[in-house]
Amino acid sequence: MKHVVKMRNRDNVAIALHDIQAGTAIEGGITANHDIPQAHKIALIPIPKGEPVIRYGVVLGYAKENILAGDWINEDSLNLPASPDLNELEYGIDIHEKLPEPSVKTFMGYDNPESEYAGTRNILGIQTMVQCVVGILNVAVQQMKTELLPKYPNVDDIVVISHAYGCGVAIDAPEAKIPIRAVKNIMKNPNFGGQLMVVGLGCEKLTPDKVMDPDDINDDNFILLQDHHGFENILEAIKVMAEKKLKILNQRQRVELPLSKLSVGMQCGGSDAFSGVTANPAAGYASDMLVNAGATVMFSEVTEVRDGVPFIAHRVLDKPNCDKLAKEMSWYDNYLKEGGVDRSANPTPGNRAGGLSTIVEKSMGSIAKSGAAPIAQVVSAGEIPSRHGLIFNATPASDFVCGTMQLASGMGVEVFMTGRGTPYNLAAAPVIKVCSRTDLKEFWQDLIDINAGSIATGEKSVADVGQEIFDEIIAVASGVQPTAEKLGLFNDICIFNPAPIT
């Protein structure tokens, strides 16, 4: 029976495939000295105090005390190494031009002639300017889904883009550009079909000129609730505008399109030590297939990749984007420092329970979801890429914030890898759930779409599961509903706002 997985030849630790009892003999003639929980690390050789603990071929940390072969290694065993230096990062030295061949190069999507990307869904998106309008909008949408939506069968849904920005904020603060950019760009998401519907209250600081083009600020696209007399009149105004938009959206039809019209987001959450062995590498393989077919694929989560930034830089194609990578990482270092924390604040209790001892270990697993393709562009959180291919999108690592900011960058479908399990999903774009362990799939069989745990047990290869993920992306982008969408599980939108609240 196989007990452990070792990632690289130079690694001096392996992870447990299952719970290992003390006294169990494992591969390499080693005996477990302690009970080792599933996904946690076991020392393969003696590691003296102060010496490196190595997994993925990189230093996860330094031994706080002498470690014996067979010992359990967890977050209490290690001192964190220094962050990689951001000065003079080397770029363009690990460029893989030969990527796995895609099995198809088209999907059935909603074309947006004025946009780089096509929609995977046909949704009436209603953008709020401030949280104050959401109560009335929720009532209006509930009524519209009953009264109006059945009349327009080609429209999938009506979604309110609700956020906590807009009022009580320092609207002219330097970092206000981040949430304002996100609000502006999320309206352009391809799943909304170019139909603007924006609702404000009338006294908020976020005014329409900050997020809308001058020609679009008119009675066809923009409603101020304070301009209307009473609740019923407000509801009627919302419904009248919405029905005009629904009539236009209803004319959209799915057509066969090249994958160059598809934008896919990659994200992981509730990660464990298997994430970098199974789910993330398989997603990376699917990402490489998509990039080879001309699609745009975004990976993100600054704090989760910060300790692997040299490996990312090696795949960046040019100096301007390498410089932007360093700038985004440096900005986030300073942002955390001002908040009184550093990158070690990232691993969650669930991550640690899943065997991730340090942020370095989490970073190396996180990067795996980007595959091996060259990185064509680095964009700021919520910025729309100007190139196709693999994109590093510098969002925070928080699931809800990362997903929201990827939506603002044009994402039409997201792939979400998890080791611990999560019902996370987005109303504005479908989310495919991939788990890192077979027992999680068995435990949450009705919440997970694809099981990558079969890679760890040797039943399937990374390429096998990567192909499954690729096929699922094409199917979902073409209209098939993943599990969370079928169940109607939708998380709140959460726009990144590092600017002050007054």
Q: What is the pLDDT of residue 347?
A: 80
Q: What is the pLDDT of residue 33?
A: 97
Q: Is 302 left (phi over 0), alpha (psi -120 to 50) or beta?
A: alpha
Q: What is the pLDDT of residue 28?
A: 87
In a domain, 86, yes or no: no
Six-digit token string for 133:
């309008």
Q: Which residue has the tokens 């562009």?
A: 377
Q: What is the pLDDT of residue 344?
A: 79
Handedness of CA 71, 73, 78, 82 (dihedral sign): positive
Percent of the chain with pLDDT over 90: 94
With contact defined as beta carbons under 8 Å apart, do 396 and 402 qualify? yes
Are 157 and 214 within one domain? yes
Six-digit token string for 46:
């003696």
With contact defined as beta carbons under 8 Å apart, do 285 and 379 qualify? no
Burial label, 327 (beta-carbon count in 10 A; 0-12, 13-18, 19+): middle
Are 362 and 478 within one domain? yes
Q: Please, what is the Cα angle at 181 between 178 and 182, to 5 degrees?
A: 85
Low-confidence ranges of the chain (pLDDT < 50): none
Are 322 and 435 within one domain? yes
Of the residues 249, 275, 305, which one is the last residue of a structural domain? 249
Of the residues 49, 79, 109, which one is the last residue of a structural domain? 79
What does DSSP say about strands 30-31 and 375-380: parallel, antiparallel, or unpaired? unpaired
Are 318 and 465 within one domain? yes
The Cα–Cα gap between 164 and 488 comes to 22
Residues contacting residue 63 through CB under 8 Å, at least 6 positions apart = 47, 48, 49, 50, 51, 52, 53, 77, 78, 79
In a domain, 108, yes or no: no
With contact defined as beta carbons under 8 Å apart, do 390 and 376 qualify? yes
Residues contacting residue 2 through CB under 8 Å, at least 6 positions apart = 17, 27, 457, 458
Are 187 and 316 within one domain? no
Six-digit token string for 346:
């990232």
CATH assignment at residue 30 = 2.30.130.110
Are 241 and 278 within one domain? no
The Cα–Cα gap between 466 and 302 comes to 24
Q: What is the pLDDT of residue 113?
A: 86
CATH assignment at residue 204 = 3.40.50
Are 170 and 43 within one domain? no
Q: What is the pLDDT of residue 144?
A: 98
Of the residues 249, 281, 312, which one is the last residue of a structural domain? 249
State the DSSP H helix or E strand holding residue 338, giving kind and residue range, or none if neither. Answer: helix 319-338
Are 156 and 223 within one domain? yes
In a domain, 95, yes or no: no
Q: What is the pLDDT of residue 97?
A: 84
In a domain, 492, yes or no: no
Q: What is the pLDDT of residue 427?
A: 97
With contact defined as beta carbons under 8 Å apart, do 341 and 348 qualify? no
In a domain, 190, yes or no: yes
In a domain, 365, yes or no: yes
Domain count, the chain: 3
Q: How far is CA 200 from CA 142, 164, 179, 303, 443, in A?
A: 19, 13, 16, 34, 44
Are 358 and 430 within one domain? yes
pTM, rounded to two decimals: 0.96
In a domain, 292, yes or no: yes
Are 284 and 229 within one domain? no
Q: What 3-state class would DSSP assign to 47?
A: strand
Q: What is the pLDDT of residue 281?
A: 97
Q: What is the DSSP letter of 215?
A: G
In a domain, 477, yes or no: yes
Are 29 and 164 within one domain? no
Which one, of 147, 220, 211, lies nearest residue 181 by Cα?
211
Range of the domain at 296: 267-487
96-126 residue pLDDT tens = 889 999 999 999 999 998 889 999 999 999 9
Are 305 and 425 within one domain? yes
Q: What are phi and psi of 194, to 5 degrees?
A: 75, 5
Q: What is the pLDDT of residue 435?
A: 97
Q: What is the pLDDT of residue 21?
A: 97
